[in-house]
Amino acid sequence: MEILVTGSAGFIGFHLAKRLIEEGISFIGIDNLNNYYDNKLKKSRLSELDNSHNKNKKHYEFHEGDLNDRNFLEGIFHKYNPEIVVNLAAQAGVRYSIENPQTYINSNLVGFHNLIECCRNNSVKNFIYASSSSVYGGNINFPFSEDDSVNHPVSLYAATKKSNELIAHSYSHLFQIPTTGIRFFTVYGPWGRPDMAPFIFTKAIKNRNPIKVFNYGDIYRDFTYIDDVIDVLFKLLFLPAKRDLTFNKNEPKQSSSWAPYRILNIGNNKSISILEFISMLEKEIGIKADIQLEPMQPGDVYKTCADTRTVDNLIKNRCKTNLKEGLKQFIQWYNSYYRS
Ligand SMILES: NC(=O)c1ccc[n+]([C@@H]2O[C@H](COP(=O)([O-])OP(=O)(O)OC[C@H]3O[C@@H](n4cnc5c(N)ncnc54)[C@H](O)[C@@H]3O)[C@@H](O)[C@H]2O)c1
């Protein structure tokens, strides 16, 4: 059974691809290798995949291409006929969406729609796609449950992710495509994204540059270690969404449906203050941070915390790496990759 992973040069896509290679499972990876952040890092991830693949000869191919290019996507589906599709390609980042809205429309709406159309035309049996904890917007019911209302996004990025969930539902209903939308909560770890806090803070601390901390330090995140995310994603490949037989249209749940559709949080159910997070980084790196307290940024949310009961019930004894251990792994990778 062929698997297609989009965004396979990206942080999460790369780790899923690596796991598939390690498990000896055939798949195709695609990515447009855009310059949103350091392109060299994306290319290094691809080289790392090639190295792992050389040791394990199952079928793996990478194709550079864009979700916006319908002909490219149709060619991939025609050639490989994937039955499982994992969409991790997207324009990520909350703050960037304020200055560059069109990129989000192109990749996250037009690109997403091109992909799900290909899934429809090729009778894909399991479509998994990245949503985000950002869809919870101004929600102040902690922890965030998949059944909370998410109709008040505070960034265009969040609005595109919520739109993906709505589009997915219509395709699950009309064409019986099993769809699973994953709301990731601040994923971190080796090969992580240079535009995210763990990376930005680490780089600044090591270079002895000041760190900007928004909302005057009163900001909280539920950090999720990459291996824990991949553990769930890998298992979901073989657990497509099913119809919810208990679904009641008079009291509709948000996270499931009469159609084969579901929404899952992947987080840790532990929210920690950014200042505490920085203090853990300082200890791991062995250098004191120079913290500059700043007002809240437009588009940002004050606190995230995942209600993880749905994923915990679905996947028993899933891995939950503690933050201290996860940061240790991240810093070790950072030191060896940047030889610092
Ligand atoms: N990392 C997190 O903490 C986090 C949190 C919430 C949601 N997400 C979502 O998870 C998914 C993966 O995130 P990530 O952290 O790996 O991001 P990433 O930016 O590292 O990876 C995304 C990859 O997709 C590629 N891409 C972007 N637009 C494309 C297009 N139009 N066609 C083909 N390729 C394209 C990029 O080149 C990149 O390599 C994204 O949808 C992101 O919004 C991530």
Mean of pLDDT values over 214-222: 97
% of the chain with per-residue pLDDT over 90: 95
Domain that holds residue 177: 3-190+224-268+306-321
Give the mutation target among 15, 183, 184 for probing the ligand 1 site: most ligand atoms within 8 A of CB. 184
Q: Is residue 141 part of a domain?
A: yes
Q: Is residue 149 part of a domain?
A: yes
| Confidence at 57, pLDDT banded by 50, 70, 90 | low
The CA distance from 25 to 151, in Å, is 38
| Confidence at 56, pLDDT banded by 50, 70, 90 | low
- CATH number, position 60: 3.40.50.720
Residue 302 has pLDDT above 80, yes or no: yes
Nearest Cα residue to atom 31 of ligand 1 = 107
DSSP SS3 for 290: strand
Q: Is residue 335 part of a domain?
A: no
Measured torsion, CA atoms of residues 318, 233, 168, 91, in degrees rounded to the nearest 10: 120
* Other beta carbons less than 10 A from residue 337's beta carbon: 12
Q: Are the CB atoms for 340 and 257 separated by under 8 Å?
A: no
Q: Which atom of ligand 1 is nearest to the CA of 92?
A: 43
Q: Is residue 337 part of a domain?
A: no
How many structural domains comprise the chain?
A: 1
State the sign of the Cα–Cα–Cα–Cα dihedral 120, 122, 124, 130. Answer: negative
DSSP SS3 for 247: coil
- Chain segment 72-126, per-residue pLDDT in tens: 999 999 999 999 999 999 999 998 999 999 999 999 999 999 999 999 999 999 9
Residue 1 has pLDDT above 90, yes or no: no
Integer angstrom CA distances of residue 47 from 6, 40, 51, 53, 310: 17, 10, 6, 10, 36
Amino acid at 329: Q
Check pocket membership of 14 for ligand 1, CB cut-off 6 A: no
**Which of 210-220 are b and which e, b meaning 16 or more Cβ less than 10 Å from the residue's Cβ?**
ebebbbeeebb
Which residues partner with 127 through β-bridges? 85, 179
Check pocket membership of 130 for ligand 1, CB cut-off 6 A: yes
Q: Is residue 50 part of a domain?
A: yes
The 8 Å CB, 24+ separation contacts for 135-142 are 135/161, 135/162, 135/165, 135/183, 136/183, 136/301, 136/304, 137/301, 138/301, 142/271, 142/303, 142/305
Q: Are the CB atoms for 192 and 198 separated by under 8 Å?
A: yes
Active-site annotation holds for 337: no
The CA distance from 315 to 328, in Å, is 26
Q: Is residue 82 part of a domain?
A: yes
Query: Among the options 60, 129, 157, 171, which is catalytic?
Result: 157
Structure tokens given for 107? 């990749």
Check pocket membership of 193 for ligand 1, CB cut-off 6 A: yes
| Confidence at 284, pLDDT banded by 50, 70, 90 | very high
Q: What is the pLDDT of residue 149?
A: 95
Q: Is residue 300 part of a domain?
A: no
Q: Is residue 241 part of a domain?
A: yes
| Confidence at 53, pLDDT banded by 50, 70, 90 | confident
